[in-house]
Amino acid sequence: MKSFLTLIGEEVASAFERAGYERDLGRVGVSNRPDLCEYQCNGAMAGAKRYKKNPMEIASAVAEELKSSKAFSMVEAAAPGFINLNADPAYIRDYAAGMQKSERFGVEKPEKPEMIVIDYGGPNVAKPLHVGHLRPAVIGESIKRIARYAGHTVIGDVHLGDWGMPMGQIITELQVRKPDLVYFDDTYEGDYPEEPPFDISELEEIYPHASGRCKTDEEYKAKALQATKELQAGRRGYRALWQHILKVSVTDLKRNYKRLDVDFDLWMGESDVDDLIPAMVQDMKDKGLAHISEGALVVDVTEESDKKEIPPCMVLKSDGAANYETTDLATLVWREREYKPDKVLYVVDKRQELHFVQVFRCARKCGIVRDDTGLEFIGFGTMNGPGGKPFKTRDGGVLRLSQLLDDIAESMYERIKEAGREDMSDEEAKETAEMTALAALKYGDLSNQASKDYIFDTERFTASEGDTGPYLLYTMARIRSILRKYEAEGGKQGELPVPADKAQKAIYMDMAGFVQMIGEAYAERAPHRVCAYLYQLSNDLNSFYHETKILTEEDQEKRAGYIALIAAALRIMEESIGLLGFKAPLRM
């Protein structure tokens, strides 16, 4: 379906045309003076310049032409040249009814659906997920779902950090602690054990220990570098150990992402493209694009229009090893080969922007991607703790993501218990708490513009009133409860009613804005658009609920109409929270 704004915009454009002006002046937006009208067109003002006329004269002529339109119940030219509009109640009702009947509420497939790879999550093997990993997972997952909803083919890739120095550090530390392990025996030729020689908690303790020691102990650091090199060169025992590290860590990562309802199509890592590096580098050399600078192999990526200096992209370190740029470039080689994506989106900490500028330019210059492949860096800001300081545990350590979720779920659970919900089993209470916690966490994050830093305020995010995830869920639960009661009383499904007052009209206007909202959320890669949409719809639903006797309405047809209206809005809410990556409990 066309978006509602497009549809009524076409009406206004035709009116401009009939009045003797160009159609493009007929663009319509939601009114920024809702006290005066619902929609507005400012085209007469632009037309005044173009035609050297008084804007009011144009507005009045167009308004006159619009009087016959079925789309509007009120058309008015207002000084100095606005065209104020109210949608015709039956017209907007019919639009909403059409949405309910169409697939994805009227969001059409684009003419040419794109193949999009989205790189998000970006955890590093052997490091537990901490609060810093929340944003890439939550934002990336939402953008992926929005892009799919907008009709594109989207592949999500976790892009594991599994190939660098941390691997060598872990191997080195293991050798210190367990020197007798067969993996360190050069003469060993048999198969290696299937059981890993450590579990996840040991692994998670080893890594920070080893990385800390590298900072103070040069000899140890040299060993770790050597181990990294030998691992990458294919030393058998190290490869086997590394496989264990990967397996143990990925199992744990998958469990954590599952709890977050974050789901990757690909679990590729930096290591997976290692074998593509030699040919890629050779090609860069053959094309004369890579040269040695201070021992390292680099590609110049400056452009004339640069305001600040962009350093060359390092393709191989001076010891010939791959670095972060190398693996990202080789990953693009792989993605191009497998998917020929129209776009590759990277949801990564905005502090990595320079890295991506270098990688994107290098990839384009070297022909790794096509000229029209869209490479996009979606940089997100930092999530801070209370007072705007980095998020820490009470004793100053990094806070695990699972701990943060546990804490919030626990407090949601206590709230349910305090409310004395005897009708709710303990199991349901726990499940509800977990769902509400996830909504609080994700909505708290996504309702901010991704590029901005924000403060994670548990108190605020978990509040049942205000611009929060739980508020949406309460609104939905309230509607569900009404629907249940209605059904229990034997109420029948009715038709969507023609809105009879402002409160109902507001809900229709929200619903009618869905297609537009999805278009904008996708185009701007902006989950916060979905959040703002949901918040508005929730507010309007609650106003309606407070102003209207729904279940006690005596006119049976009216009652059935109210029910149809809130049921329709509920479906849209469900769909929309799905785009943010959470679900609503059936009751709260």
- Whether the Cβ atoms of residue 471 and residue 561 lie closer than 8 Å to each other: no
Which residues are paired to 384 by β-bridges?
Answer: 390, 455
Nearer to ligand ARG, 357 or 530 (CB): 357
- Binds ligand ARG by CB under 6 A, chosen from 4, 91, 264, 346: 346
Q: What is the DSSP string of 178-228?
A: -TTSGGG-TT--SPPPSS-SS-HHHHHHHHHHHHHHHHH-HHHHHHHHHHH
Of residues 379, 447, 456, the one with CA closest to residue 120: 379
Alpha carbon distances (Å) from 572 to 105, 180, 307, 518, 584: 8, 61, 46, 12, 13
Residue 325 makes contact with ligand ARG by CB under 6 A: no
Helix-helix angle 426-446:469-488, to 10 degrees: 130
Give the angle 207-210-212 at the CA atoms, nearest 5°: 105
Closest contact distance (angstroms) between CB of 143 and ligand ARG is 14
Residue 159 makes contact with ligand ARG by CB under 6 A: yes
User: What does the DSSP 8-state code read for residue 183?
Assistant: G
Of residues 454, 451, 483, 477, the one with CA closest to residue 347: 451
H-state helical runs in 393-501: 401-418, 426-446, 458-461, 469-488
Nearer to ligand ARG, 61 or 245 (CB): 245
Residue 165 makes contact with ligand ARG by CB under 6 A: no
Residue 508 makes contact with ligand ARG by CB under 6 A: no
Nearer to ligand ARG, 166 or 196 (CB): 166
Nearer to ligand ARG, 85 or 158 (CB): 158
Give the angle 120-126-128 at the CA atoms, nearest 5°: 70
User: Tokens for 367?
Assistant: 């022909």
Of residues 490, 498, 448, 474, the one with CA closest to residue 587: 474
The 284-323 site mask, x for binding ligand ARG (CB under 6 A), equals: ----------------------------------------
Closest contact distance (angstroms) between CB of 302 and ligand ARG is 22
Residue 124 makes contact with ligand ARG by CB under 6 A: yes
Which range in 95-103, 116-124, 385-393, 398-406 contacts ligand ARG by CB under 6 A? 116-124
Nearer to ligand ARG, 161 or 312 (CB): 161
- Whether the Cβ atoms of residue 4 and residue 515 lie closer than 8 Å to each other: yes
Distance CA 514, CA 520 (A): 10
- Binds ligand ARG by CB under 6 A, chosen from 11, 65, 119, 272: 119
Nearer to ligand ARG, 350 or 415 (CB): 350
Which range in 107-115, 119-127, 364-372, 550-558 contacts ligand ARG by CB under 6 A? 119-127
The footprint of ligand ARG on this chain (CB under 6 A) covers a number of residues equal to: 8
Residue 348 makes contact with ligand ARG by CB under 6 A: yes
The 239-278 site mask, x for binding ligand ARG (CB under 6 A), equals: ----------------------------------------
Nearer to ligand ARG, 344 or 412 (CB): 344
- Whether the Cβ atoms of residue 85 and residue 92 lie closer than 8 Å to each other: no
* Cis bond before residue 197 (omega within 30° of 0): no
Nearer to ligand ARG, 136 or 519 (CB): 136
- Whether the Cβ atoms of residue 63 and residue 76 lie closer than 8 Å to each other: yes
Nearer to ligand ARG, 84 or 124 (CB): 124
Q: What is the DSSP string of 71-137?
A: TEEEEEEETTTEEEEEE-HHHHHHHHHHHHHSGGGGPPPPSSPPEEEEE----BTTS--BGGGHHHH
Residue 156 makes contact with ligand ARG by CB under 6 A: no
Nearer to ligand ARG, 40 or 326 (CB): 326
Nearer to ligand ARG, 39 or 346 (CB): 346
- Whether the Cβ atoms of residue 508 and residue 96 lie closer than 8 Å to each other: yes
Provide the 10 A C-beta neighbour count for residue 213.
16
Provide the 10 A C-beta neighbour count for residue 289.
17
Nearer to ligand ARG, 137 or 537 (CB): 137
Residue 122 makes contact with ligand ARG by CB under 6 A: yes
Closest contact distance (angstroms) between CB of 403 and ligand ARG is 19
- Binds ligand ARG by CB under 6 A, chosen from 38, 204, 325, 328: 328
Residue 164 makes contact with ligand ARG by CB under 6 A: no
Q: Find the residue with minimal CB distance to ligand ARG.
A: 122
Residue 38 makes contact with ligand ARG by CB under 6 A: no
Closest contact distance (angstroms) between CB of 308 and ligand ARG is 22
Closest contact distance (angstroms) between CB of 391 and ligand ARG is 16
Closest contact distance (angstroms) between CB of 249 and ligand ARG is 13
Distance CA 222, CA 217 (A): 9
- Whether the Cβ atoms of residue 375 and residue 344 lie closer than 8 Å to each other: yes
What is the residue whose two structure tokens read 């929060």? Answer: 468
Nearer to ligand ARG, 525 or 559 (CB): 525
Closest contact distance (angstroms) between CB of 164 and ligand ARG is 9
Residue 161 makes contact with ligand ARG by CB under 6 A: yes
User: Tokens for 578?
Assistant: 């799905």
Residue 538 makes contact with ligand ARG by CB under 6 A: no
User: Tokens for 360?
Assistant: 């994107």
Positions that interact with ligand ARG (CB under 6 A): 119, 122, 124, 159, 161, 328, 346, 348
